[in-house]
Amino acid sequence: MKLLLVAGARPNFMKIAPLIHELRQQSRLSWKLVHTGQHYDYEMSKVFFEDLDIPEPDFFLNVGSGTHAEQTAKVMTEFEKICRAEMPGIVVVVGDVNSTLACSVTAKKLQIKVAHVEAGLRSGDMTMPEEINRIVTDSISDFLFVTEKGGLSNLDREGKRKDQVYFVGNIMIDTLFHSLEKIRRMGTGEAVEGPYAVVTLHRPSNVDSKEKLADILWALREISLDMTVFFPLHPRTGKNIRDFGLLDILDSPGFRIMPPLSYRKFLAIWKGAALVMTDSGGLQEETTALGIPCFTIRENTERPVTIEEGTNILVGTSGKRIRETFQDFKKGKRKIGKVPELWDGNTAGRIIEILSQSRTEG
Ligand code: UD1
């Protein structure tokens, strides 16, 4: 049987890589890789293929940026042609980006089975484009691969059949553990004294409004007076900081502002951090896997296990709350977490085993 694997944006690449490595070691399933081109800059895409040992995609759809409708529609139009030509048995999508939704809907309408890796996560926040992408994708998927137990109850509540839902663990942690071994001797690449923090910000709700972004940046600047803050800038965030005239806030010796980093370079920095502050989905999970304190700069999370069992604290998005939580942290208040069930580096193997036993034609 043939699989068509889909990746589109930066957070997809670390989820698709372990599947490819697993598929290379077996012969029951043939496969091809589609890159939609949702992310296209070298730092957002190509460098991840290199770092994660992902081969050149068989198909590159080159869709680029646009409004949600434009981007989604372009992926659908181009992906439909590939599906018609290839007629795979299963289309495998990962995560919650626009490419995930576009390709799952396209495949399903051609009566091709859909497997969703990272199914069942829910923030309950329908203002997040990713929440809409998750709900739509899960509602039509035939194989739902779940990362944390909460996902099982979410899918149960939404009426998914139990025999379509598989608790397999977190595939991103496969990539994390694998990469840690490779970069054991890599440091931050910069001289830094004492404990340091790492920040990432890119969510439209945090960076698309001048007031909100400035409020958060002022809080981070204050923290940078206490400990060095590494801050790789997502293109959206960098552009908005410039357009809103907020560059001055970053002009503090405690900040290390940098372009988006490759997977390995970024890991080499954050694995040694005393504190990570982020609005990313994946980093909440990765910090929990390594036991590093994480402040999530959001009002909600679709990854509750990182709070219930891990090192994650949902701080909210006001500068005031970020400052207060940091003051507690400075006084030594830390969460001692544990690694959630099945976040063991073997998730891809479980997924490929399930897919190779399925009786789908193609
Ligand atoms: C997307 C995902 C988000 C994910 C994030 C990680 C959706 C709805 N959102 O958000 O879930 O967490 O990726 O990065 O799918 N841009 C570049 N170069 C690129 C890509 C984008 O400069 O290679 C700029 C463009 O100006 C673009 C903007 O970033 O308009 C936003 O890109 P887009 O893919 O639309 O959304 P992200 O914010 O990256």
Write the pLDDT tens digit of every residue in 197-253: 999 999 999 999 999 999 999 999 999 999 999 999 999 999 999 999 999 999 999
| Mean pLDDT, residues 326-344 | 95
- Compute the distance from residue 143 Cα to the ligand 1 centre, in Å: 27
Percent of the chain with pLDDT over 90: 94
The pLDDT assigned to 262 comes to: 96
- Report helix, strand or coil for 213: helix
Nearest of 113, 142, 164 to residue 3 by alpha carbon: 113
Angle between helices 171-182 and 347-357 (to 10 degrees): 130
More confident call, 185 vs 83: 83
Atom of ligand 1 nearest to the CA of 41: 23
For the chain, the domains span: 2-169+343-361, 182-330
| Mean pLDDT, residues 311-324 | 98
- Compute the distance from residue 40 Cα to the ligand 1 centre, in Å: 9
- The catalytically annotated residue of 21, 39, 116, 202 is 202
Does residue 361 surpass a pLDDT of 80? no
Q: Residue 97's CB: how many other CB atoms inside 10 A?
A: 24
State both tokens at 296: 């999530």
Strand partners, 197: 229, 275
Torsion of CA 219, 221, 224, 228, to 10 degrees: 120
Is the minimum distance from the CB of 260 to ligand 1 under 6 angstroms? no
Cα distance between residue 60 and residue 79, in whole Å: 10
Cα distance between residue 285 and residue 315, in whole Å: 16
Q: Which superfamily does CATH assign the domain made up of 182-330 to?
A: Glycogen Phosphorylase B; (3.40.50.2000)
Band of residue 193 on the pLDDT scale cut at 50, 70, 90: confident
- Compute the distance from residue 46 Cα to the ligand 1 centre, in Å: 15
State both tokens at 358: 């399925």
Cα distance between residue 144 and residue 138, in whole Å: 7
Domain at 2-169+343-361: CATH architecture:
3-Layer(aba) Sandwich (3.40)
Does residue 191 surpass a pLDDT of 90? no
Query: For the chain, what is the radius of gyration of the CA atoms?
Result: 20
Is the minimum distance from the CB of 51 to ligand 1 under 6 angstroms? no
Q: Indicate if 202 belongs to the active site.
A: yes
Cα distance between residue 169 and residue 174, in whole Å: 9
The pLDDT assigned to 254 comes to: 96
| Mean pLDDT, residues 334-355 | 96
Tell me if domain 2-169+343-361 and domain 182-330 are identical in fold: yes
Q: Using one digit for the tens of pLDDT, what is the confidence trace for 265-279? A: 999 999 999 999 999
Is the minimum distance from the CB of 10 to ligand 1 under 6 angstroms? yes
